[in-house]
Structure 1
Amino acid sequence: MASSFWSIASRQALNSGLFLTKLYCFLHVTTNYLGFMAYAYGPSMIPTLHPSGNVLLAERISKRYQKPSRGDIVVIRSPENPKKTPIKRVIGIEGDCISFVVDPVKNDKSQTIVVPKGHVFVQGDYTHNSRDSRTFGPVPYGLIQGRVLWRVWPFQDFGPLGPTPT
């Protein structure tokens, strides 16, 4: 009787372990190669995103096969703090000549740069309150984590977030 208890218990533990292993593998493949949920908050992407917070669905598939386009909203690994993943809009791609106001709050001093090969120039939609390529320079392709496809929350704004012409 005791041996049947242990055989049932070990079978259940093995089945549970296999299920958890399969679940982990599925989540790992999904988030590392297909897509992931991103959380955006703060004023830098007003009016596209709400400053109080948005849950977004970002995809990783196309970044492996094509370069980002002007107008895409992307999740990047911050060049200043690798623990942060800001969400910004691609304003310029490699080879583009970009002119921008360095700090629109303080003065109207402008600067012009050419985006280097293998980089993009990103900027928040609300330029008066955004840390972006104007501060830390063009972002290498390797720091792009994914392209934002959908707004999931707040639910009343659920829907696609496609590129906007710049």
Structure 2
Amino acid sequence: MAQLHGRRYIRAFVSGFFVAVPVTVTFLDRVACIARVEGVSMQPSLNPGGRNESDVVLLNRWRIRNYEVQRGDIVSLVSPKNPEQKIIKRVIGLEGDIVKTVGHKTQYVRIPSGHMWVEGDHHGHSFDSNAFGPVSLGLLHAQATHILWPPNRWQKLKPVLLEERKPLYSEND
């Protein structure tokens, strides 16, 4: 009798496992995941403690499923220079915008269709569009929506754009 009870337990566990794994993988692939933010490029918004502390953020993949982002959003994207790496930056400009660059080869850039301009908040310490130019929306991975760790930093991330980083011209406004 105990052996029969044990088999039933194992069968229930295995069938539950084979349902839970695909559901979890699909959720992480399509809806949301978490990630540790490393480096100083997004200071002071993320990792204000420097290299000693790393913020952990919620990455909402569902929000960007139609490539809809707005200026000021913090996004995760595939690095245009290293497809093995994901980077996290703030959206400064969208297609049609003219942005004033910070150390780019040209002082002003018009963002082409299907692209965006992204920068780290810590200018001079960020590998961003000022180094590699406008980024294809196809490289978007997720939008960072909340800081989850450390607990004293729990907060919703709001789209913020400093006045001096706003586009000089925007077709869509």
Which residue pairs with 2:28 in the alignment?
A: 31
| SS of equivalent residue, structure 2 residue 21 | helix
Distance 1:137 1:165 in 2: 19
Which residue pairs with 2:61 in the alignment?
A: 60
Which residue pairs with 1:145 in the alignment?
A: 141
Shift in Å, 1:10:
4.3
Cα pair distance change 1:64/1:119, threshold 3 Å: same
What one-letter code is carried by the residue in structure 1 that aligns with 2:36? Y
| SS of equivalent residue, structure 2 residue 83 | coil
Which residue pairs with 1:132 in the alignment?
A: 128
Count of residue correspondences? 158
Which residue pairs with 1:69 in the alignment?
A: 70
Distance 2:6 2:79 in 1: 48
Identity %: 33
Whether the 8 Å CA contact 2:67–2:140 is kept in 1: the answer is no
Cα RMSD, aligned residues only: 1.9
| Unpaired segments ≥5 residues, structure 1 | 104-108
User: Which of the pair is proportionally richer in helix?
Assistant: 1
| Unpaired segments ≥5 residues, structure 2 | 163-173
What one-letter code is carried by the residue in structure 1 that aligns with 2:138? G
Which of 42, 46, 49 is 1:49 aligned to? 46
Whether the 8 Å CA contact 1:75–1:147 is kept in 2: the answer is yes
Query: TM-score when scaled to structure 1?
Result: 0.86
What one-letter code is carried by the residue in structure 2 that aligns with 1:18? S
Greater Rg over alpha carbons, structure: 1
Superposition misfits of 4+ residues, deviation over 2 angstroms = 7-14
